[in-house]
Amino acid sequence: MLYDRHEMRALFQLAIGRPGSSFAIEIARKTGLPEEVIQKASEIVGSDYIQSDKYLQDIVRDKRYWEAKRQTVHQREKDLERQIAKYESDVAELEKKRKEILTKAKGEAQELLKESNKRIENAIKEIKEQQAEKEETKRIREELNEFKSVVADIDTKAMDEKIARKMEQIKQRKERHAKFKSEKEEKQKKAAESLMQAALKEEKKAGKAKLAVGDTVRMKGMKTIGKIEAVDGNMITVIFGDMRTKVKADRLEYTEAKAKEEDLATKLQAYSVSKTTRATIDSHKSSFKQDLDVRGMRGDEALTAVQYFIDDAILVGMQRVRILHGKGNGILRQLIRQYLGSVPNVIHYADEHVQFGGAGITVVDL
């Protein structure tokens, strides 16, 4: 039966498959029982009992969070598959149009060839009528054959390159899809391991799970924290500071707190790394400009400049940047937006407001 922890009242809703919570102490306090009675009851049941309801609710909350994450990832995966199917359909349509264009071009070439034959034959006829030499007739024939060869070899290189680029884009999207799927499975695995570790810790706190090498423990009734070095049946070797001792398992209790030496070393190391990294990022951020002007650049040059610009913006934590590409034929704008659509950290991009540049500037939110 679900219970509102903030309002301290029953919701009268049944949740199947979730551990229940009693909230006996909290309910007793709300109903107005004397505080000394509640305090005495708390001492009898112990702190582990009082905190168990909180731990259970935390685990249920984490489960709901990861379920929502899983649904979101699943939906995005479906959207990605639809996009891939659309691109494959576009390539098939492009190939069909290519064949139609080639057929039409060859037909036009044949018509042109016939017209050329007719004109050259007329020229030869005129030359013969004027009693031209045989060498002149031969030369004209060779020019005719050369013209036929040029018309027959219609250049389809540009069309082939366009299709190749399209296929490469689909290949890259499939690779990103596979990578995305792998990362999703890895995150789910880590989330499951995290929940299992949390459950194991709760069992150890309650004394239901066996202690293992590496666990931090303390003697019951004492505050000094040590680390388990070895386990031999019911006897456990624990290191308390510089002292190593063997203790029976039932005299120890699990704790999440770290030994003082280990905790201090971890804090010092973390401070050193974060301080160096922060100094580098702050230095880079102070010189970073939020506008990039690629007007007048070729497509590949502009794309390279935009890639470095977006990487730097993400590094220094910029939330919004602007790319000035101009209007023109819109080719540069299309290339840049195609790249922005493939960057996971790009949340949204759109034209700048009309009074500030309109379609000649792309505003990017990170």
Average pLDDT value over all residues in the chain: 75
Residue that has been written with the tokens 């704008």 in this structure: 333
DSSP category for residue 33: -
Residue 151 lies in a domain: yes
Residues 81 and 168 in one domain: yes
Residues 217 and 314 in one domain: no
Residues 166 and 87 in one domain: yes
* Cα dist from 222 to 39, 150, 164, 226, 258, whole Å: 22, 96, 72, 11, 15
Is the pTM higher than 0.75?
no
Report yes or no: 202 and 55 within 8 Å, Cβ to Cβ.
yes
Residues 271 and 302 in one domain: no
Residue 66 lies in a domain: no
Residue 33 lies in a domain: yes
SS3 252: strand
pLDDT of amino acid 70: 87
pLDDT (tens digit, 9 = 90+) per residue, 2-16? 666 666 666 677 766
**How far is 74 from 85, CA to CA, in rounded Å?**
17
Distance separating the N- and C-terminal Cα atoms of the chain: 43
Best CA proximity match to 45, nearest among 20, 19, 21, 24 = 24
Residue 333 lies in a domain: yes
Residues 114 and 214 in one domain: no
Residues 81 and 184 in one domain: yes
**pLDDT over threshold 80, residue 161:** no
**How many folded domains does the chain comprise?**
4
What is the enclosing helix (H) or strand (E) of 260?
A: helix 260-286
**How far is 127 from 121, CA to CA, in rounded Å?**
10
Residues 120 and 187 in one domain: yes
pLDDT of amino acid 287: 76
Residues 186 and 79 in one domain: yes
Residues spanned by the domain of 345: 288-365
Which CATH number characterizes residue 297's domain?
3.30.1370.110
Residues 246 and 266 in one domain: yes
Give the pLDDT band of residue 19 (cuts 50, 70, 90). Answer: low
| More confidently predicted of 259 and 221 | 221
Residues 103 and 186 in one domain: yes
pLDDT (tens digit, 9 = 90+) per residue, 63-98? 888 888 888 888 988 888 888 888 888 888 888 888
Report yes or no: 300 and 335 within 8 Å, Cβ to Cβ.
no
Residues 172 and 238 in one domain: no
Which CATH number characterizes residue 268's domain?
2.30.30.30
pLDDT (tens digit, 9 = 90+) per residue, 50-67? 566 667 777 777 888 888
| More confidently predicted of 235 and 222 | 235
Token pair, residue 202, equals: 């709760």
CA 294 to chain centre: 27
**How far is 167 from 164, CA to CA, in rounded Å?**
5
Average pLDDT for 30-44? 80
